[in-house]
Amino acid sequence: PLTFLKYNRDGDLLFSCAKDHTPTVWFADNGERLGTYRGHNGAVWTCDVSRDSMRLITGSADQTVKLWNVQKGTQLYTFNFGSPARSVEFAIGDKLAVITTDPFMELTSAIHVKRIAGDSTEQTEESVLVVKGPQGRINRAVWGPLNRTIISAGEDAVIRIWDSETGKLLKESDKESGHKKTITSLTKAADGSHFLSGSLDKSAKLWDTRTLTLIKTYSTERPVNAVAMSPLLDHVVLGGGQDASAVTTTDHRAGKFEAKFYDKILQEEIGGVKGHFGPINALAFNPDGK
């Protein structure tokens, strides 16, 4: 199964992560496989690519996060953690990365900020900041505007905004208006002013990044595993479906595995795209919105 998708900034390359241990890069326009990144020995949950498309960062169930040379496919550095790495994202400027690790044995979930050296020979393991997480797994952590904050969400269904320098908790989503079950996914608008969360409570929600005010809610009839926002049109896309264990009971023609398009403003479903025969785990828009 595929776990995560990421376009580079130019939209000519698409990076995919999967449970097969080997992140892959594709030419976005013709689907041709350009190369693979070999070195993880566990499922790869997440990736991000630097603004100049020179470096890739990947997080894996093998308890490591790796930095790669995009063109050569070589490993530049490995960060070792005591638990699986679930989410990674480069900060604006690519000088920092935020990484989340899963609860494991006695360890709780945590958010780590690492400084990313310009020259990989000078890279170090040390964390600039470690925030010991709330209960349960943090499924996603992303940078807020100007790298000043970190937004995290996961199993306890609460979205939190942290100060990225001090690690102080600044805001939490409201229990009433917030999600009721595990938040599976989180994606930012192109301008960073708002973001979208998807949850197993069968909804996606649009939030203001600075105030954490709930702006819109998109309701669907299945758990949401992945969310995306068009950078071009007022479209929100939700992907999901039941767990693999429940799939056998549902005919794929029942349309549970469509990508559903919603009008961002009116919150109405405007269409669906069929094609998958199992739950959708990952969605990404090309930066050009096409």
How large is the average pLDDT for residues 34-41?
Answer: 98
Query: Of 4, 66, 67, nearest to 41 (Cα)?
Result: 66
Beta strands in 91-190 (DSSP E): 96-101, 110-115, 127-132, 138-143, 149-154, 160-163, 169-172, 183-188
| pLDDT confidence tier of residue 266, bands split at 50, 70 and 90 | very high
The rounded radius of gyration (Å) of the Cα atoms in the chain is: 18
pLDDT at 47 over 70: yes
How large is the average pLDDT for residues 192-217?
Answer: 97
| pLDDT confidence tier of residue 250, bands split at 50, 70 and 90 | low
How large is the average pLDDT for residues 44-57?
Answer: 98
pLDDT in tens, 114-147: 999 999 999 999 999 999 967 899 999 999 999 9
Residues of the chain by 3-state class (helix, strand, coil), percent to 5: 5, 45, 50
Which amino acid belongs to residue 117?
A
Rounded distance, CA 112 to CA 221, Å? 35
Domains and CATH numbers, the chain: 2-172 (2.130.10.10)
Under a CB-based contact definition with an 8 Å cutoff, are residues 280 and 5 in contact? no
